[in-house]
Amino acid sequence: MALDLHARNGDEAGWVGQSIPRVEDAALLAGRGRFIDDLGTPPGTLHAAILRSPHAHASIERIDTAAARAMPGVAAVLTGAELQGLTSSLVVGVKAPVECWPMAIDRVRYVGEPVAVAVAADRYLAEDALDAIEVRYAPLPAVVAPLDALADGAPLLHEGFPGNLASDRSFSYGDPDAAFASAPHRIGVAVEYPRSACTPIETYGVVAEYDPALDAYDVLANFQGPFSIHAVMARALRVPGNRLRLRTPPDSGGSFGVKQGVFPYVVVIAVAARLAGCPVKWIEDRMEHLAGAVSATNRSTRLQAAVAEDGRILALDWDQIEDCGAHLRAPEPATLYRMHGNMTGAYAIRNVRIRNRVVVTNKLPTGLNRGFGGPQIYFPLERLISRIAATLGLDPLDVVRRNLVPADAFPYRTATGALLDSGDYAAALEAALRDGGHAGLLARRAQARAEGRLYGIGYAAVVEPSVSNMGYITTVLTAAERRRAGPKNGAQATATIALDPGGTVSVHVASVPQGQGHRTVLGQVVADVFGLRPADIRVITEMDTAKDAWSIASGNYSSRFAPAVAGAAWIAATRLRERLARVAAVQLNARPDELVFAAGKVFSPGNPGNAVAFSRLAATGHWAPATLPEDVEQPLRETAFWTPPQLGAPNDADEVNSSLCHGFIFDFCGAEVDRDTGAIRLDRYVTMHDCGRILHPGMVAGQVTGGFAHALGAALLEEQSYGPDGSLLTGTLADYLIPTAMEVPEPVILHYETPSPFTPLGAKGVGEGNTMSTPVCIANAVADALGLVDIQLPLLPSRLSEALHGAEPSSPRREARPPPAAPGERALFGSGHAEVDAAPEQLWAMLLDPDRLARVVPGAHNVQRMDETRFKAEVTLGIGPVRGRYRAEIALSDLDAPRSVTLSGSVDGVLGFGRGRGRLRLEPVGPTRTALTYDYEAAVGGKVASIGGRLLDGAARVIIGQFFASLAAQASGRRPSLWRRLLRLFRRRA
Amino acid sequence: MKPARFAYLRAATTEHALEALHRGGGEARVIAGGQSLVPMLTMRLARPALLVDIMHVTALNRVDDDGARITVGAGVRQRALETRNGLAKRQPLLAMALPWVGHMQTRSRGTVCGSVAHADPSAELPLVLVALGGQVHLRSGHRARRVTAQEFFTGMMVTARAEDELIEAVSVPAIRPGTGYAFREISRRHGDFAIAAFAAVADERGLRLAVGGVAAIPISRVLPTDQAFGDALDAFAWDLDARDDLHASARYRRELVRRIGRDVAQEALRDQKARAVQEGG
């Protein structure tokens, strides 16, 4: 029977559309949420800790786990080799002879890559065991920036990706060549969009168990979907899908896409459980999360537009280089293709050329993050609009207006294949300007500028896609490859409604909420269908792949809850209501179609006295199934699988409707930049949303505000930073800065509703849009304030210094600083000077005497001489309370006795590694007195670099200063008590 | 993020703590509020064999104000000092700087002396100590000594404290007539490590500007108040030998010294005048 998707219950003023209190909150506010780390584990559960690579790129020469295995409480140690024996490679999303393992096998390719797993009685012992695992790495050159990865001679990550290129596809829609040839203007932008991540408060968690009798895995993980990844995990674990039971906990402490990335760890911990013969639990800690969870992609984009005199864009030419990090992990390169239908944004541009390249670099692999590909598109596109206005002397608003998709064109097929479902972009824009106080903002800017302050206004117009087409990712394949692979498309949503013998209603959806409030909204939707109160509806949202109805599209991603999942629940409830109506019709002697479900009763409006209680009616199928009319199917339980017909596979012209729904956002803001500090103050932020029908205004405001906060972080604070040598520089939240309540002003949120004709409830997604619109809106305002052409995120005050303060006059006294380090070295450098009471020859003799040299090296033990000029030692180095043991090697070279020598050294230990070279010069200044000068460069990586980046330079100076001070002290034959004074001397000069 | 094994000793008296430090040698660390040490333990950056907890030594949990100096014991939490009655009247610079130390939550645990002991180059309390010419009161089992703040901070996270010494207290001069004070900090977010922090004191001996977050330790310099000020400040900015890091370039830090340093110095001079008027009236 066909359903009229837009038929409503007789009671129009229902629960949907009201901001009712969230049913989730009572537990959460009282600390009774049930997150993965709160749940009890099976008896005998052991705990895992993961040893991670300190190197961006290195061969693993040897892993010695014997000492770790011998430690008390340690049950197993898993290395890449053992993992490889029990699993298959994760699938890779492009056709290439490349493998993707969840642990390093013989080579590490990013800082944080898992190298070994220790399983022990508790996490403390497991971490102790990690300290006892010895890994010998042979460092390889690393590549960090996407353009560098494509350069000739760049270090190669995977043999199967020649030139580090994982995919290179070109597309053409309309006639871009003709448009560019005839257009009066060609205007472009170049953008290096940085990396950031959404940083949920709850990190990854996995509890895994292996049943050898059934050869089956049972996994509890705070995975968010899409459940297409279930197939990826089962394949990797070499079991059929029905032998990987995957469950999710009742509550999740946020995801924003990130919890999709737990899946490689599911494979690792499942194998660890199999090896240990016990259930194994692993909760990711914050440092692991920042180094090893998942990041959004960084992207290098060149965007050109062919532009008419009036600002109309006749064609776009995109050249995108997507950086997916060290491995192309499922579902990448989806970030690049999620927006493929939307490459023209909110604009009616018919001619488009696109070149999409995907590269691998020595950084954390990428995956789902709020906005997923949107921020990377809209930053160049909306910067372009701003540049067109500046170049042609137009009002940026006029450039936007002249290019928007016209209201009468919906549903509108974009050049690249998206079908924009509904909207009136121009009306929404004008409403935003009017209701958002745009005229006042212009006046504030004029006033501020008259006072000599730096004030700018920015704009952004974006289309926010939601309910992604499972097939869009296949746009990365050629049409011929797609034909061979078979069509992939659609966006299935699943919901089950069940009635129990007491006549109460339960709802289950295959969605896995991450804190959004799905249970509340589903209560509203289903209560409206049955004429009940939301409190009467119990909603269960945890998933169990062994018992629940689900599909590969299940999960919580691409803003699909309101448009797809809530709609599926509405369909299931409506089908059940129709059956109940036919049962009631017999009992009430009425026609099914005239019955009304309201106030807990079912009745005919003409005769309200003749009613049956909903609970009684709903229980009929349990207590008196034989009384049901013969042609009525059981009214006990209904599962709806909803799939929209609009989401076809990409066609042979590479056109793809990459998402079902398209909301519209128009933002504008005023921002002021402090002349002295470069601090950016958002004066006013207005964000207009058309997200279709609003089911719960309070939650929509929450989503918009949360997306805005994430976007503000991306604009002003957040960047997952790597040094040129691939060192991770943002290993803690002291360096990876996320906005707090203090930093997030409240945006003015406006709405303009055009319901989607393609979704059961008319709703569209709303959770991601501001991550797409806000970063570029703020950047446009700052560019306007400072008159900048080129502007890159994040907008660090320090980076604005050049624009604000002009060229810096050189130092009055100082000679030039040492030249910067060789490419790829994130070097520290320094120099020092001291005078010691010894002749140069005495000092020289000491340098070549291993016993005395040993005493010079701070904290050295077990010094061994390898040959004339090379020494090996164990050293303990430290600054303040930070102390670690390292293997050290020291070599002397370029000997020019007794005048100068080069000292090279390397250290390697659990806290990290370092390499340094110093040139030491000795000059006599008296018969028994020598002036000793040195300069050095050093590179430091590993844990200390990730945690203490801001202190490293000073720390290296202290340690190198210790070395030379000690050298001077030894040479002078002074007692150690004098070292301190010498040390101070060095410190001042160093 | 679980610490390596360590022994824990809750000292009952100062002597008890000193004895433990003596026995522990380099393997013992004092733990007070733990706001720097505990993260270092959980990240396994620090692995002391013994932690000596001094927070239950009542003798250390006191602030003394003898009119000339304010002495803050090792057990005094930052928040306790911040909320001490009349602090702004007794030593305005301390009152200005304390709200910038971390967050209210960390100040409720962290101690004043702990921050001094940790000697982070960006920390506010070492900066204030240097700006005010404060002293660090050190005690070991066999002797007690006082060192000036200038002598105490010898390098980034390196101090003149010997391994068996406990910072028993720090002391700063109380407000003196005719003195003006100012403080300001620039950081990415409130509560983050300072990119640059400034404390200025103007008194009859002249204008002193102390800068934290730029060099390895807080550095104080006397600056002229005449037309030579600009050049002297510029020279100071260069002499601090700023470095680039993730959050700020060396150049930006120098620019802050020139611009915010100037503002803070001027504010201290204005404050000096305002107080002179009050005192005169």
C-beta separation of A874 from A886 below 8 A = yes
Nearest-neighbour CA in chain A from B66: distance (Å): 33
Using an 8 Å CB-CB cutoff, list chain B residues near A678.
252
Return the CATH number of the domain spanning residue range A25-32+492-642.
Answer: 3.30.365.10
pLDDT at A659 over 50: yes
Q: How confident is the model at residue A974 (pLDDT cuts 50, 70, 90)?
A: low
Using an 8 Å CB-CB cutoff, list chain B residues near A740.
189
B251 in contact with chain A, both atoms CB, cutoff 8 A = yes
Q: How confident is the model at residue A884 (pLDDT cuts 50, 70, 90)?
A: confident
Least confident of A250-254, A461-465, A820-824, B192-196: A820-824
User: What are the C-alpha distances in Å from A32 to residues A206, A254, A339, A543, B184?
Assistant: 20, 16, 39, 20, 42
C-beta separation of B42 from A49 below 8 A = no
Are A742 and B118 within 8 A, CB to CB? no
Are A987 and B154 within 8 A, CB to CB? yes
Using an 8 Å CB-CB cutoff, list chain A residues near B47.
883
Q: How confident is the model at residue A849 (pLDDT cuts 50, 70, 90)?
A: confident
Domain map (residue ranges) of chain A: 25-32+492-642, 42-147+200-292, 826-989
Are A812 and B234 within 8 A, CB to CB? yes
Instruction: Please write the tens of the pLDDT for every residue from B173-210.
Output: 999 999 999 999 999 998 899 999 999 999 999 999 99
* CA nearest to A827 within chain B: B244
B193 in contact with chain A, both atoms CB, cutoff 8 A = yes
The stretch A630-656 carries a mean pLDDT of 95
The minimal CB distance from A950 to the residues B4, B40, B247 is found for B247
Vertex A277 angle, CA A273 and A279, to 5°: 50
Q: Which residues are paired to A833 by β-bridges?
A: A933
Residue B4 confidence (pLDDT): 95
The pair phi, psi for residue B170, each rounded to 5°, is: -125, 155
B147 in contact with chain A, both atoms CB, cutoff 8 A = no
C-beta separation of A398 from A389 below 8 A = yes
Using an 8 Å CB-CB cutoff, list chain B residues near A879.
155-158
The stretch B103-110 carries a mean pLDDT of 97
Return the CATH number of the domain spanning residue range A826-989.
Answer: 3.30.530.20
**Considering only CA atoms, which of A467, A459, A441, A296 is closest in space to residue A381?**
A459
Q: Which residues are paired to A220 by β-bridges?
A: A207, A247
Residue A4 confidence (pLDDT): 44
Nearest-neighbour CA in chain A from B177: distance (Å): 32
C-beta separation of A785 from A673 below 8 A = yes
- Entry pTM: 0.94
Residue A6 confidence (pLDDT): 41
Are A742 and B189 within 8 A, CB to CB? yes
Q: Mean pLDDT, chain A, as a whole number?
A: 92
Kindly provide the b/e burial profile for residues A572-602, where b requires at least 16 CB atoms within 10 angstroms of the residue's own CB.
bbbbbbbbbbbbbbeebebebeebbbbeebb
Q: Which residues are paired to B219 by β-bridges?
A: B211
Instruction: Please write the tens of the pLDDT for every residue from A745-763.
Output: 999 999 999 999 999 999 9
Please, what is the end-to-end C-alpha distance for chain A in angstroms? 83
pLDDT at A155 over 50: yes
Residue A973 confidence (pLDDT): 65
> Which B-chain residues 207-236 have CB contacts (< 8 A) with chain A?
216, 231, 234-235
Instruction: Please write the tens of the pLDDT for every residue from B123-179.
Output: 999 999 999 999 999 999 999 999 999 999 998 899 999 999 999 999 999 999 999
Residue B281 confidence (pLDDT): 58
* CA nearest to B27 within chain A: A881
Nearest-neighbour CA in chain A from B28: distance (Å): 10
Of residues A404 and A954, which shows the higher confidence score? A404
ipTM: 0.96
Best of A677, A876, A886 to disrupt the B interface (most B CBs within 10 Å) is A677
User: What are the C-alpha distances in Å from A365 to residues A56, A291, A323, A872, B262?
Assistant: 12, 10, 9, 36, 46
> Which B-chain residues 84-143 have CB contacts (< 8 A) with chain A?
118-122
Of residues A742 and A826, which shows the higher confidence score? A742
Q: What is the enclosing helix (H) or strand (E) of A781?
A: helix A769-786
pLDDT at A72 over 90: yes
- Give domain A42-147+200-292's CATH superfamily: Aldehyde oxidase/xanthine dehydrogenase, a/b hammerhead (3.90.1170.50)
C-beta separation of A201 from A259 below 8 A = no
| Number of Cβ within a 10 Å radius of residue B25 | 11
Are A949 and B252 within 8 A, CB to CB? no
How far from chain centre, in Å, is Cα A477? 24
C-beta separation of A831 from A921 below 8 A = no
Best of B245, B253, B266, B267 to disrupt the A interface (most A CBs within 10 Å) is B245
The minimal CB distance from B252 to the residues A798, A958, A987 is found for A798
Residue A435 confidence (pLDDT): 98
Nearest-neighbour CA in chain B from A984: distance (Å): 7
Best of B255, B257, B266, B267 to disrupt the A interface (most A CBs within 10 Å) is B255
Max CA separation in chain A (angstroms): 122
The minimal CB distance from A881 to the residues B46, B190, B245 is found for B46
Return the sign of the alpha-carbon dihedral for residues A263, A267, A272, A273: positive
3-class secondary-structure state, position A518: helix
The stretch A557-584 carries a mean pLDDT of 96
The stretch A37-54 carries a mean pLDDT of 96
pLDDT at B20 over 70: yes
Q: How confident is the model at residue A983 (pLDDT cuts 50, 70, 90)?
A: very low
Least confident of A518-532, A646-660, A924-938: A924-938
Using an 8 Å CB-CB cutoff, list chain B residues near A944.
45
Instruction: Report H helices in A311-373.
Output: 334-337
Give the Cα separation of B212 and B158 in Å (integer).
Answer: 15
Q: Which residues are paired to A893 by β-bridges?
A: A902
Using an 8 Å CB-CB cutoff, list chain B residues near A809.
234
Are A881 and B43 within 8 A, CB to CB? no
Max CA separation in chain B (angstroms): 62
> Which B-chain residues 4-63 have CB contacts (< 8 A) with chain A?
4-5, 29, 37, 40, 43-48
Give the Cα separation of A851 and A484 in Å (integer).
Answer: 70
C-beta separation of A66 from A120 below 8 A = no
3-class secondary-structure state, position A976: helix
Best of B41, B236, B243 to disrupt the A interface (most A CBs within 10 Å) is B243
Are A881 and B156 within 8 A, CB to CB? no
Return the sign of the alpha-carbon dihedral for residues A855, A860, A861, A867: negative
Q: How confident is the model at residue A982 (pLDDT cuts 50, 70, 90)?
A: very low
pLDDT at A846 over 90: no
Q: How confident is the model at residue A975 (pLDDT cuts 50, 70, 90)?
A: very low
Using an 8 Å CB-CB cutoff, list chain B residues near A118.
none
The minimal CB distance from B248 to the residues A798, A884, A943 is found for A798
3-class secondary-structure state, position A967: helix
> Which B-chain residues 152-191 have CB contacts (< 8 A) with chain A?
154-160, 186, 188-190
Q: How confident is the model at residue A934 (pLDDT cuts 50, 70, 90)?
A: confident
Best of A943, A950, A960, A963 to disrupt the B interface (most B CBs within 10 Å) is A950
C-beta separation of B155 from A958 below 8 A = yes
Using an 8 Å CB-CB cutoff, list chain A residues near B234.
809, 812
Joined tokens for residue A201: 């408060």
Joined tokens for residue A803: 């624009």
Assign 3-class secondary structure to chain B.
CCCCCCEEEECCCHHHHHHHHHHHHHHEEEECCCCCHHHHHHCCCCCCCEEEECCCCHHHCCEEECCCEEEEECCCEHHHHHCCCCHHHHCHHHHHHHHHCCCHHHHCCCEHHHHHHHCCCCCHHHHHHHHHCCEEEEECCCCEEEEEHHHHEEECCEECCCCCCEEEEEEEECCCCCCEEEEEEECCCCCCCCCEEEEEEEECCEEEEEEECCCCCCEEEEECCCCCHHHHHHHHHHHCCCCCCCCCCHHHHHHHHHHHHHHHHHHHHHHHHHHHHHHHC
Inter-chain CB pairs, A–B, below 8 Å: 143
B195 in contact with chain A, both atoms CB, cutoff 8 A = yes
The minimal CB distance from B189 to the residues A743, A805, A911 is found for A743
Are A951 and B235 within 8 A, CB to CB? no
Are A131 and B263 within 8 A, CB to CB? no
Instruction: Please write the tens of the pLDDT for every residue from A340-399.
Output: 999 999 999 999 999 999 999 999 999 999 999 999 999 999 999 999 999 999 999 999
Q: What is the enclosing helix (H) or strand (E) of A836?
A: strand A827-836
The minimal CB distance from B249 to the residues A127, A742, A798 is found for A798
